């Protein structure tokens, strides 16, 4: 126990205080608005409660038992998985292609960059209403196009067979620009020297993309995939505005089902069980995905 060790210890205490001070505001906000509600949701899921009554009946795990056998919830979960898979399959490659094009085209393509980014700037609610009118079976543009080619009226949102795919397409239209910008940032991290060196070594643009750029973009792609998974699994706004999960639950997502249960049926206890179930499912899927994506590097 010398002077030196005491100094180290003192410095560590100082560091700890600094860390604590800097983290405190964030932790406070997360604690109040994230952690506390999560815990509260789990607690509420044990009750039968309409959301405003003073009568809150403890019913143990009944809500959870109901959740496990609720075909609407699992149908919604299946829809979420479909949104998740198709979001990755549609949005990632297109976003990457657009980013690659913009990266190679440079300043000349600035106008394209701005235009492509516009869907991302619009609020989901506005997009929902826009497409509601655009897809109107009598007056919408899809029907107009179909009629121009001699077809009949096209009903995409009222048909349980097409409604979810239509929503997924619109979601892709909205979010692809996000991944475009994300990958552009990824490209920004690759030094121009690398491209130049590859070209001097006789690589084609194709070689450069597949063998150099893509491996270097891997970290961006990985986090984009995780972001997309989490976003898809808790997706809400556009579907809520456009179809409210209908018709016949064909486009129901876990979040819209939770909202309707909480704020239309006023079954706050069961809605909390749905929310907690969502939390568990999404956490598990996100953590497993991250584990799988990071496995190689260990």
Partner 1 sequence: MKKSKLWKALASGVLAFTMMAATACGSSTGTSTTSTTSTTTSTAASAADTTASTGAGSTAASTSGGKTKLTIWHIQTGEVADTIQASVDRFMKANPQYDVTVVQKQNDTYKTDLSLAINAGTMPDVFITWGGQTMYDYVDEGLVADLTSYMKADGYADKFLDAAIKQCTYNDKIVAVPVENVSVAGFFYNKEVFSKYNLSEPKTIADLEKICDTLVANGVKPFALANATKWTGSMYFQYLATRYGGLQPFADAASGKGSFENDAFKYAGTTIQDWVNKGYFCDGFNGMDDDSGQARMLFYNGDAAMDLMGSWFISNVSDESSMIEDGTLGFFPFPSLDTSTADQTYTLGTLGDNLYSVSAKCTDQEGAFKLIQSLLDDTAVKERTAEGKIIPFKDFKSDNEVTNKVLESLNSAAGVQLWYDQYLPSEVAEVHKDTCQQIFGLTMTPEQADTTLQTAMKDYLAKNGK
Q: What residues between 244 and 263 interact with partner 1 by CB under 8 A?
A: 244, 246-249, 255, 258-260, 262-263
Residue nearer to partner 1 on the CB measure, 10 or 218: 218
Q: Does 243 bind partner 1 (CB under 8 A)?
A: yes
Q: How far apart are alpha carbons 27 and 146 in whole angstroms?
A: 54
In the set 12, 22, 265, 292, which binds partner 1 (CB under 8 A)?
Answer: 265
Q: Least Å distance between CB 199 and partner 1?
A: 36
Cα 34 off chain centre by: 17
Q: Does 178 bind partner 1 (CB under 8 A)?
A: yes
Q: Does 235 bind partner 1 (CB under 8 A)?
A: yes
Residue nearer to partner 1 on the CB measure, 137 or 209: 137
Residue nearer to partner 1 on the CB measure, 197 or 287: 287
Q: Least Å distance between CB 178 and partner 1?
A: 7
Which residues between 212 and 231 bind partner 1 (CB under 8 A)?
226-227, 230-231
Q: Least Å distance between CB 93 and partner 1?
A: 20
Q: Which stretch binds partner 1 (CB under 8 A): 38-46, 91-99, 103-111, 212-220?
A: 38-46
Q: Does 291 bind partner 1 (CB under 8 A)?
A: yes
Residue nearer to partner 1 on the CB measure, 67 or 120: 120
Q: How far apart are alpha carbons 162 and 160 in whole angstroms?
A: 6
Residue nearer to partner 1 on the CB measure, 51 or 216: 51
Any residues with CB less than 8 A from the CB of 48 and at least 6 apart, and which?
A: 56, 57, 58, 59, 62, 63, 269
In the set 96, 98, 102, 135, which binds partner 1 (CB under 8 A)?
Answer: 135
In the set 92, 96, 163, 168, which binds partner 1 (CB under 8 A)?
Answer: 163
In the set 98, 99, 156, 180, which binds partner 1 (CB under 8 A)?
Answer: 156
Q: Does 78 bind partner 1 (CB under 8 A)?
A: no
Q: What is the largest CA-CA distance in the chain?
A: 92
Q: How far apart are alpha carbons 228 and 285 in whole angstroms?
A: 12
């Amino acid at each position: 126990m010398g002077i030196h060790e005491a100094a180290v210890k003192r410095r560590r205490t100082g560091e700890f205080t600094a860390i604590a001070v800097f983290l405190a505001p964030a932790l406070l906000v997360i604690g109040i608005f994230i952690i506390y509600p999560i815990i509260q949701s789990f607690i509420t899921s044990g009750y039968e409660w309409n959301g405003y009554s003073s009568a809150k009946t403890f019913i143990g795990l009944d809500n959870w038992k109901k959740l496990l056998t609720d075909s609407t919830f699992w149908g919604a979960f299946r829809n979420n998985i479909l949104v998740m898979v198709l979001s990755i399959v549609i949005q990632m490659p297109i976003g990457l292609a657009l980013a690659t094009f913009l990266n190679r085209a440079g300043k000349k393509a600035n106008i394209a960059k701005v235009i492509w980014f516009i869907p991302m700037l619009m609020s989901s609610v506005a997009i929902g209403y826009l497409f509601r009118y655009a897809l109107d079976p009598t007056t919408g543009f899809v029907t107009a196009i179909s009629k121009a080619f001699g077809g009949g009226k096209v009903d995409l949102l009222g048909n349980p067979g097409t409604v979810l795919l239509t929503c997924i397409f619109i979601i892709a239209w909205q979010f692809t620009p996000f991944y475009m910008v994300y990958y552009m940032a990824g490209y920004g991290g690759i030094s121009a020297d690398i491209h130049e060196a590859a070209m001097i070594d006789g690589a084609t643009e194709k070689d450069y993309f597949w063998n150099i750029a893509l491996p270097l973009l891997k970290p961006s792609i990985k986090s984009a995939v995780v972001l997309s998974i989490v976003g898809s699994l808790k997706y809400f706004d556009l579907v809520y505005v456009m179809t409210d999960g209908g018709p016949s639950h064909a486009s129901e997502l876990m979040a819209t089902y939770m909202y309707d249960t909480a704020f239309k049926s006023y079954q706050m206890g069961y809605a909390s069980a749905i929310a907690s179930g969502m939390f568990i499912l999404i956490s598990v899927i996100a953590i497993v995905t991250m584990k799988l994506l990071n496995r190689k590097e260990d």
